[in-house]
Amino acid sequence: MIANGAANNFTISGTCTGSGSHTVGAANTATTFEGSAALSAASTWTMTFTNCTPSSTAVTSTTYYDSNYLPRGVSSVGVNYGLYLTAPTIPSTIMVGNTGTIGTQTLYTNSSKTVGNGTTVVSYVVEPDTANTAIVNLIARIYNAGGTLTSTEQDRYRINAAGALTPVSADIQYSYTSTTHLVFAF
């Protein structure tokens, strides 16, 4: 999925309702990230809400990978600049019931890395689905610079025996200063 890119539409339910789209380019653009060779892919989330303010929003970012498509970091201007100080660990095989931590991304306000903006701890759970597929639930817990949990995002993908992933849903539960709960169904 990272090598080829993807484009998906979704509906939004929860605190806000609406619809949107997510496009991510193929990670095939050679570049540098933190002084080392990398591959990059641009991503855009576009959402239109029927009952929330603002009524629409778009978020763009660029994710950086090594030559094996392991994530190295992300840049979203005006939002976060994140990098893995220790390389993430992604298992080469999984089965239903497996769990683990992929890694921790350190967040800054921009690429100068002078102001910390928290961390994102990424883990996974492999959930049952059909006789030939499973659900990979990638869980991102986002903490502010003070160490307080501000949101938990669960991105679920259907995976088959060949390793092909298809997005199923994204569930975002905000905390600390917000109780907004959004569910994206692909």
pLDDT in tens, 81-118: 999 999 999 999 999 999 999 999 999 999 999 999 99
**Residue 140 CB neighbour total at 10 angstroms:** 16
Report yes or no on 121 lying in a domain.
yes
Query: Would you state the pLDDT for residue 77?
Result: 87
pLDDT in tens, 1-32: 899 999 999 999 999 999 999 999 999 999 99
pLDDT in tens, 138-176: 999 999 999 999 999 999 999 999 999 999 999 999 999
Tokens of 34: 């933190």
Q: pTM of the predicted model, to two decimals?
A: 0.94
Q: Cα 80 from chain centroid?
A: 13
What residue numbers bound the domain in which 149 lies?
6-185
Query: Would you state the pLDDT for residue 123?
Result: 98
Q: Is 130 exposed, middle or buried (0-12, 13-18, 19+ CB in 10 A)?
A: exposed
Report yes or no on 24 lying in a domain.
yes
Round to whole Å and give the CA distance between 42 and 96.
31
Round to whole Å and give the CA distance between 65 and 30.
10
Report yes or no on 113 lying in a domain.
yes
Q: Which residue has the tokens 């806000």?
A: 16
Query: Would you state the pLDDT for residue 161?
Result: 92
Report yes or no on 94 lying in a domain.
yes
Round to whole Å and give the CA distance between 136 and 95.
10
User: How many domains are there within the chain?
Assistant: 1
What mean pLDDT is predicted for residues 107-134? 97
Report yes or no on 1 lying in a domain.
no
Peptide bond into 54 cis (omega under 30): yes
Report yes or no on 32 lying in a domain.
yes
Query: Would you state the pLDDT for residue 139?
Result: 98
Report yes or no on 46 lying in a domain.
yes
Question: Would the pLDDT of 78 be above 90?
Answer: no
Report yes or no on 173 lying in a domain.
yes
Tokens of 86: 């220790």
